[in-house]
Structure 1
């Protein structure tokens, strides 16, 4: 399988090149040259399969021509060492809990998968110099990537995060590890961090001295494995006879997770409708309404992992639909949830249904309520992180205490180690060159 750039200014790359490089030389995002269609027999049979079996089948459709099946199986089994259960919240609404991985966030699957795939390619190359992974985070990406890549031979990770704009527990998960993980505390917002990473990939001087790649969802090995979630969710809903007319609400920041769901749909997964659940950073909702994409500076919200004003994966969504606004709006609707609505939703879901979402899941649930479900429809919202990662917000809104899992307590005992960083590319470039 070859991977082309969404900017269409460079030749297609192999899977290995796309994973190792992260971003195409023309600053476009890599996309698979074809999206394989899975037959209906597989879709109908998933309810009898394990998560591992489903994921391996889906992964083989994309990566099977480029990796030995035994290696791909090992990567899948190592990546999916935990489940993603569907939990009933109301009679017609279910939560897909994606936070049962090592850092209690949905990004664990993509980060672990990419770490192992990149490690596979590095070992195959017998690379003489380290690969430097650059990742910008507005919250959970940094912790998932840092822990997924921890102690992987031949790889150094630099996590760029906006100063004062991630939760204390999230910050602990990537600033206390050390070893091959370095946290860079950028004096800016997430969009500044993402711009620094993108600029580094196309800087000739940096690339002459360092081998760089990204572990953000701009990397195909990070975002494509998130399609596993959607197939597994459908299989679970099919087991209980609720898979017909599924409406899936996806908390959306950089739009990698929603893009993976759209890929799954294109592969044949029969989801009826998707909702892009935004917080106040709602440039995609504005695009759905107007047909014009107008990125703008992000604003800080209670759902901080979604605080993105210029989502990278919008380019993939546009490419996937050939720029057809009508086709996009036919399958995807949007929603906006303010901080006040996040608090109210948290309180309502806990009081009325006894279920505790995190602020991002609250956006997903609120989006379902805003749209409403038609007779025969079932709603699934993606619960992307454990509520304990946003302890103050959830406890204040609900008036209920949230138990902190032992894995999070362990992170909180570590010593914070981070490097202060100005948001200028010159400062970032000088720092990276000093590490060469």
Structure 2
């Protein structure tokens, strides 16, 4: 698998280099030089494959010969050892639950796959230098990465998260694992955390002294496994006789919907993608005006989507050859406030007896909005990206009482929080990393 930088297609690297480097030296993002088309036969009969079998077929086509098929199969079976079920709500609406992994968020797919890939490549080389994994999180990424890398030999993970802008359970997942996991509470926004990580990767002196890599969705090894559950969702729908689907995706850093669009480019039949954002609406404004104008992120109930300058948007543009008119035909964007989010949570509970996290509720609103103008026959599938127990402050008493608390959350309560605090000053962050 050869990848190029979105800033320079002549700057190409191997899959292994892209995984460990995370970012090209020209500050672009890595993209596959060729997007393979899956066979028509595989797509037509995908309902006859299990989830791991689907994941292996997709991964083999993307990664090629970089990892032998038998090794890749073993990595996938270890990493993707939980399901992503479609739960029907009515005849034309369903939710794709992506929170059945260890950290209770969709980011388990990417984090677990990536940690296994990094571990595999590390074993095949003689470099004994500690692998320093840096990750910025607005909520769920950090917990998934922490549990994905916990105890992985030869790695050290540093998670940056914005002070006061993650939920209590999210913070416990970031700060109570110990071992090779370190948590940094940054007195700023997610964008500030992400800026610190990016500056570290672009610092030649720091990279000479530390072996840095990223676990954010900017890493191509995070993006690839997120395609798996789109194909798996389509397989589940085919078993029910459904062939036309619209996916509604809660969108913050735009890695999740980017993976869906990559799956579409590989041959997955999708009628439309709905990008559902909170008031951090940089992309919806761009699609309406043609002007890309990032803004400082705003704190909302759907904190994992509080991103003012989504990194993965350049990947999506690249997938469509920077042809905005073509992109607009496949993506419809919607923006919702916290008030809208609360109303959607109530509506899902009252109509379907279904409790959704705030990110999921926003995706549901997008399905309703799209169907109001497109009443034709298809199935709307909105992605549920996190377990509702991670957001106790969002729910009123009746719904809160109805949420079953998973065992892994209860276990965190007895552990001691371990974190350090920093501001947004890069020299101080660099000094901390080197200390």
Q: TM-score, normalised by structure 2?
A: 0.98
Shift of 1:394: 2.5
- Report what 2:427 is aligned to: 426
Shift of 1:90: 2.1
SS in 2 for 1:11: strand
- Report what 2:102 is aligned to: 102
In the alignment, does 2:277 pair up with 1:282?
no
The farther-off stretch of 218-227 and 391-400 is 391-400
- Report what 2:381 is aligned to: 380
Q: Is the 8 A contact 1:249 1:275 kept in 2?
A: yes
Deviations 1:282-301 (A, max 9, x none): 11000110111111100000
- Report what 1:192 is aligned to: 192
1:348, 1:413 → 2: CA distance? 35
Q: Is the 8 A contact 1:10 1:25 kept in 2?
A: no
Q: TM-score, normalised by structure 1?
A: 0.98
2:391, 2:202 → 1: CA distance? 35
1:335, 1:90 → 2: CA distance? 22
2:11, 2:328 → 1: CA distance? 31
- Report what 1:304 is aligned to: 303
- Report what 1:410 is aligned to: 411
In the alignment, does 2:37 pair up with 1:33?
no
Deviations 1:370-425 (A, max 9, x none): 12142212100000011111122123584753221111111232111101011111
- Report what 2:50 is aligned to: 50
SS in 1 for 2:391: helix
SS in 1 for 2:231: helix
Task: Please list every run of at least 4 consecutive aligned residues from structure 1 whose deviation after the TM superposition is greater than 2 angstroms.
Answer: 394-401
CA spacing shift, 1:335–1:400, aligned 2, 3 Å:
farther
2:281, 2:78 → 1: CA distance? 36
In the alignment, does 2:206 pair up with 1:206?
yes
CA spacing shift, 1:41–1:10, aligned 2, 3 Å:
closer
1:5-24 alignment runs, 5 A limit = 5-8=5-8, 11-24=11-24
SS in 2 for 1:24: coil
- Extract unaligned runs of 5+ from structure 2: none
CA spacing shift, 1:156–1:291, aligned 2, 3 Å:
same
The farther-off stretch of 4-13 and 384-393 is 4-13
Q: Is the 8 A contact 1:391 1:402 kept in 2?
A: no
1:70-89 alignment runs, 5 A limit = 70-89=70-89
> RMSD over aligned Cα, in angstroms?
1.1
In the alignment, does 2:168 pair up with 1:168?
yes
The farther-off stretch of 300-309 and 126-135 is 126-135
- Report what 1:133 is aligned to: 133
- Report what 1:62 is aligned to: 62
In the alignment, does 2:264 pair up with 1:250?
no
- Report what 1:328 is aligned to: 327
1:182, 1:400 → 2: CA distance? 33
In the alignment, does 2:366 pair up with 1:367?
yes
Shift of 1:340: 0.4
Deviations 1:60-118 (A, max 9, x none): 00113101111101111011111000001122110000000001100001000000000
- Extract unaligned runs of 5+ from structure 1: none
1:195, 1:303 → 2: CA distance? 21
- Report what 2:91 is aligned to: 91
Q: Is the 8 A contact 1:343 1:397 kept in 2?
A: no
Counting matched residue pairs gives 433
The farther-off stretch of 64-73 and 213-222 is 64-73
- Report what 2:269 is aligned to: 270
